[in-house]
Amino acid sequence: MLDRIRAAIPALPPAEQRVAKLVLADPRAFASLPVVELAERSHVSKPTVVRFCRSVGYDGLTDFKRKLAGVVNEGVPFVHRSVDEDDKSADIVVKVIDNAVSAFLKYRNDAATGAFERAITALANAGKTARRIDFYGVGNSGIVAQDAQHKFFRLGVRANAVADGHVQVMSATMLQPGDCAVVISNSGHSRDLLDAAEIARKKGATLIAITASDSPLAQMAIGAGQILLAVDHPEDYDRYSPMVSRLLHLVVIDILTTAVALRLPGELRPMLQEIKKNLRAKRHARAE
């Protein structure tokens, strides 16, 4: 919610921008103060405070403050950072979706397009020259790696997904210059993934790390021939189940897949069309 407000500030009128900045400066106080004091602190009128709440997508001040109060708490440990123990189903729907949407908007504004361009170029070149593209991940990130392999496999490239630490080491050892090792990790601290990334780098493969910008894996991906696709989010991976991080990693894979598909040879699209045609044939039972 706070990320959405931050992203919306440039589009708001000057008076409503002052209200937005007051929210961001002390959201806990904003959720508890009466409208008169909020207007005084923002140097705006009371109707402006209400208009601001509606401008950012809420029914009014009461609705805005109720949902803001849910944001400034610490959530339910090991479940979700945005929900409370006593939330009703309707509240959970709104909070979980709002949490994801705000993370997407923040990532859209923060994403390093230069790093994406380098990653897309490396992956497309590997696909054109029949080089290997390996996706490494463990646990939750292993599921993302499998999704990536599925998407790139349909493009007709040599894509593999490896979730076992021992197999990752063996796979990385067989990489060569021109190959790509895409290492996916929420924390960027997994010993298995760090070992595989280091081996891939030494073998001359292009290392593409999808992880937090302040992690050991990120540091490993900074340098000549290596690429960091930083994915930062407010989710504490030690305290909550990975929710937003997984969605952001899947979005990064979708971006890479889409861009690489556009750069591969023209015969790719007829092949994708044929794949869809054959899948449709399997999807519907034939009449006797």
Residue limits of CATH 3.40.50.10490 in the chain: 112-277
Q: Work out the pLDDT band at 49, boundaries 50, 70, 90.
A: very high
For the stretch 206-220, pLDDT in tens is 999 999 988 999 999
Pairing of strands 158-162, 226-230: unpaired
The CATH code belonging to domain 112-277 is 3.40.50.10490
Is the pLDDT confidence value at 14 over 90? Answer: yes
Which pLDDT band, with edges at 50, 70 and 90, does 90 fall under? confident
Q: What average pLDDT does the segment 182-189 reach? A: 92
Q: How far apart are the first and last CA of the chain?
A: 55
- Identify whether the C-beta of residue 253 lies closer than 8 Å to the C-beta of residue 140: no
Cα 50 from Cα 75, distance rounded (Å): 27
pTM of the model: 0.70
pLDDT of residue 161: 96
Give the rounded percent of residues in the chain with a pLDDT score beyond 70: 88
The per-residue pLDDT for range 188-205, each reduced to its tens digit, is 999 999 999 999 999 999
Q: What residue ranges of the chain are covered by domains with CATH 1.10.10.10?
A: 2-109
Q: Count of CB atoms within 10 A of residue 70's CB? A: 19
Q: Which CATH number applies to 2-109: 1.10.1060.10, 3.20.190.10, 3.20.20.70, 1.10.10.10?
A: 1.10.10.10
For residue 78, pLDDT beyond 50: no
CA angle 50, 51, 55 (to 5 degrees): 125
Cα-based distances in Å from 60 to 34, 51, 88, 138, 190: 13, 7, 20, 44, 45
Q: Which of 83, 179, 198 is nearest to 122 (CA)?
A: 179
Mean pLDDT of 221-249: 80
263 or 136, greater pLDDT: 136
